[in-house]
Structure 1
Amino acid sequence: MSLRIVVLLLLLFTMNLSAQDRWPGFLGAGTSAIKADSIPTSWSPEKHLEWKSDIPGYGQSSPVIWGDQVYVTSVEGPEKEKLHVVCYSLQSGKQLWDHIEPSTNPEKNSVYISRAAPTPVLDENGIYAYFESGDIVALSHEGKRKWAASLTKRYGAPQNKFGLSASPVQWQDRLMILIDDEGPSYLTAVSKADGSELWKTDRKSRASWSSPMLVPVGETFQVVCSSAGSVDGYDPQTGKQLWTYEQVGGNNKTSPVPAGNGQFLIGASPGREGDNNELAKKSNGLFEVKQQDQTWQPQFVWTNPSPVPSWATPIVYRGNAYWVNRVGVVYCFDAIDGKEVFTSRIKESCWATPVGLGDHIYFFGKNGVTTVLQAGNEFKVIAENELWTEDAPPVNNNPTAAEDSEERRRSAAMFSRPTLYGAGIVNGYLVLRTGSQLYCIH
């Protein structure tokens, strides 16, 4: 089963179909069909850049789209005390509304701590935005507040010193949120209607920033979590853990995007100190879960020790699997057997996950250069597209919190330039987001 068919199946299960174009969740989960020729393969600040809009505060989430409306989240203030959900017109870039929710768990606004990192989800009733503070806010498409809930008040504050970034996944009447933390860790489902708990399943404590994904397995769906030492499958209806696989390591950043029925890719890399090095080399590949004699059988179909991904999740597109590492090396493997197709370097590393459209794959470079590759077995660069010029003004990404060490001050200086965090795509429009600006290619 192709990834495009899987995505369309996810759409059927997560929301009611309508004629509207939509990119309603992290990594496009539940996206509507996109005409590949409606998206340019080349652009620049002077060509195909339809509009550019400022975002209040700073955020690392991806944009999401419903019809003619684009949504982003951000945080603002010395303690990230203001949580923004902002809506723009897709056609003009005009800001339509900005809802500010007070944080129930203020913490230092720093480049070292995630800032509005989780991507919200959309359905026909509105937007559901979750922040690393533990706050969830539900709004209508007109910006009217429907309800708010605090997982921090409900279960306690997270303890990860770098913050949380896992995005929620939606299924039918619920949102499922993964809190993998140095303190209490859990997967929970909350009601879209009022934010109440539907179920909560405790997990082993761990430090991780990967997001859960809804994966078709057999005739149903499972919530799959690939996170810091295990890959786990859960029943979205009850929260029951169905299976676990623990012979993995370094899988704490990328998400298990579906690659077929019961199949998804796992990405893993050693930590900064080289921890999990040997196990991480055995943890990049195609994973499969299937049922045999009433028992779930999780296992790798194949692995490859070469790729070391950073934040960009590996994808399967047109029979090939793609990883991109922290210096921009693209690894392409045959998705069926894992044989190497090519290994070559593009201009920039990617924090946003690549997207395949038609005959092309878009790699969104961290520093604003999107490399468009020809899909297939040959490494062929179609275009290298700059979103901003070298003399782009510094980003006011952290105006209120001084860093307390020379190392942290150097890191803050590194993040003083724009960083491309995520993309959203519907027919005719490619929307890209940095910490404080939104760009639309048309």
Structure 2
Amino acid sequence: MMRPRFVLSLVISVFGISGIAADWPTWRGPTRDGISTEREFPTQWSATENIAWKVALPGGGHSSPIVSGDRIFVTACKESTQERLLLCYSRDDGKLIWQQTVLTAPLEKKHGLNSFASSTPATDGKFVYVSFLDGKRMQVACYDLDGKRIWAQSPGEFHSKHGFCSPPLIDGDLVIFNGDQDALAYLVAYDKATGQERWRADRPNRTRSYCPPIVIEAAGRRQLVLSGSKSVASYDVATGQQIWVMDGPTEQFVASLVYHQGLLFLTAGYPTYHIMAIRPNLTGNVTKSAVVWHETKGAAYVPSPIAWGDCVYVVADGGVASCLDVKTGKRHWMERLGRHHSASPVAANGLLYFLDDDGAMHIVKAGTEFDVIGKNKLGEACYASPALSNGQIFIRGEKHLFCIGAKAANR
């Protein structure tokens, strides 16, 4: 049997994300599903206890922190100057190493639960990629680890009354962005080293969505799968050619997909709410054949699902969490956690970490019985998803970046 860290290292190699297993280099971590294979993370803290460090952020945002080696990267918007920032901190003590203004532009119209810096950056251990809205255009940029800009591109216009969020996805030598919008919509892939456009795929339904695609191995091929714009669709990651599409189940999507035990798990959306398990091993229009099971009760719009063992877990925006069987959708439990949840859960060592908007982390033991082992309060509003790395938990609050746990161990 392969050891867990070897498996994670193999996955990182396959998906093109370099770095040690303890890194958290992109939205939802190294395998893009919120899972860490590490075993030791804190389960108790407060606003003053078990905090390795806490640093004030120069601007707001809902993007998550990412971790690469001894550095933490996070984006922010300084509203007084209209600057969109990329920030680099030391993971050892929280000291600001460098700060770059990616762009300066008027603040866009947005939903009250969105921010002006919602796209989580991504790194391959050599470069950091970011995305922001610049007026009516999406702007993406690449920086090296010392803060030098390497390239910048604009994939095109972006129109959405709810604002912007399009986290970069790194795969091999590509960096990929979701351009779903209420106009001419697209998926676009750039050469991550040069910024040269490699392919572009049309997104025909012309409806805004805010989640990055994921890359999976299914049916003997590598698939780029994206929920959004009135559909769930799969593309060849190397060319952008569509493999299959499932119409619906709703109009808009925010939560990311999760791939587990050969199935894709979805929670959405607006105007109707759904939890689904989908087969990814088909071709063509799979609307009538892809769905393994379908639930509507307890679905989330913003928080992404998470899977552990034979269960998939969803926390609805209103704070009610559910545990469902992976294969059948049978609901094992449904219980209230926080008042409201925007962050997506993360998991390690059989524990699920659910962060609510009031800054309380609810730690639930994975399983078919509801078992809360802890609830820890930071005393600050939190809307961003946590990052897990090397025994520490990184949480972006409304005003501060927190490092929870002991000082970083040797890496």
Q: Deviations over 1:304-352 (max 9, x none)?
A: 1212213110111121111111221111111111111111111333211
The alpha-carbon deviation at position 26 of structure 1 amounts to 0.7
Equivalent residue of 1:336, what SS? coil
Name the structure 2 match of 1:169: 169
Percent sequence identity over aligned pairs: 27
Pair 1:440–1:186, CA change in 2 (3 A): same
Query: 16-25 vs 424-433, which deviates more?
Result: 16-25
Q: Does 1:22 align with 2:26?
A: no
d(CA) in 2 for partners of 1:79 and 1:158? Answer: 22
d(CA) in 2 for partners of 1:109 and 1:268? Answer: 23
Pair 1:8–1:345, CA change in 2 (3 A): farther
Aligned partner letter, 2:76? S
Task: Specify every segment of 5 or more residues in structure 2 that has no aligned partner in the other structure, as ranges.
Answer: 406-411
Q: Does 1:336 align with 2:340?
A: no
Pair 1:329–1:225, CA change in 2 (3 A): same
Name the structure 2 match of 1:36: 39
Pair 1:221–1:29, CA change in 2 (3 A): farther
Q: Does 1:346 align with 2:348?
A: no
* Within-5 A mapping of 1:249-268: 249-261=250-262, 263-268=263-268
The root-mean-square deviation of aligned C-alpha atoms, in Å, is 2.4
The alpha-carbon deviation at position 106 of structure 1 amounts to 3.6
Name the structure 2 match of 1:143: 147
Q: Is the 8 A contact 2:109 2:163 kept in 1?
A: no
The alpha-carbon deviation at position 116 of structure 1 amounts to 1.3
Name the structure 1 match of 2:247: 246
Q: Is the 8 A contact 2:108 2:163 kept in 1?
A: no
Pick the aligned partner of 2:65 from 63, 66, 70.
63
d(CA) in 2 for partners of 1:290 and 1:110? Answer: 37
d(CA) in 1 for partners of 2:7 and 2:319? Answer: 28
- Please give the TM-score of this superposition, normalised by the length of structure 2: 0.89
The alpha-carbon deviation at position 188 of structure 1 amounts to 0.4
The alpha-carbon deviation at position 35 of structure 1 amounts to 2.2
Query: 334-343 vs 215-224, which deviates more?
Result: 215-224
* Within-5 A mapping of 1:254-403: 254-261=255-262, 263-271=263-271, 277=272, 280=273, 283-291=274-282, 299-388=290-379
Aligned partner letter, 2:73? Y
- Number of equivalenced pairs: 393
The alpha-carbon deviation at position 48 of structure 1 amounts to 0.9
d(CA) in 1 for partners of 2:109 and 2:56? Answer: 19
Name the structure 2 match of 1:49: 51
d(CA) in 1 for partners of 2:17 and 2:290? Answer: 33
Q: Deviations over 1:134-190 (max 9, x none)?
A: 121211112122112222xxx2x2121221212121110111101111111100001
d(CA) in 2 for partners of 1:8 and 1:230? Answer: 32
Q: Deviations over 1:12-33 (max 9, x none)?
A: 1233655463111111144796
Could you say which structure has the higher helix fraction? 1
Aligned partner letter, 2:39? A
Name the structure 2 match of 1:102: 103
d(CA) in 2 for partners of 1:79 and 1:186? Answer: 31
d(CA) in 2 for partners of 1:374 and 1:426? Answer: 19
Pair 1:311–1:247, CA change in 2 (3 A): closer
Name the structure 2 match of 1:401: none
Q: Is the 8 A contact 2:111 2:163 kept in 1?
A: no
Aligned partner letter, 1:369? A
Pair 1:34–1:142, CA change in 2 (3 A): farther
d(CA) in 1 for partners of 2:16 and 2:231? Answer: 30
Q: Is the 8 A contact 1:324 1:349 kept in 2?
A: no
* Within-5 A mapping of 1:111-130: 112=112, 114-130=115-131
d(CA) in 2 for partners of 1:211 and 1:7? Answer: 21
Equivalent residue of 2:237, what SS? coil
d(CA) in 2 for partners of 1:339 and 1:33? Answer: 26
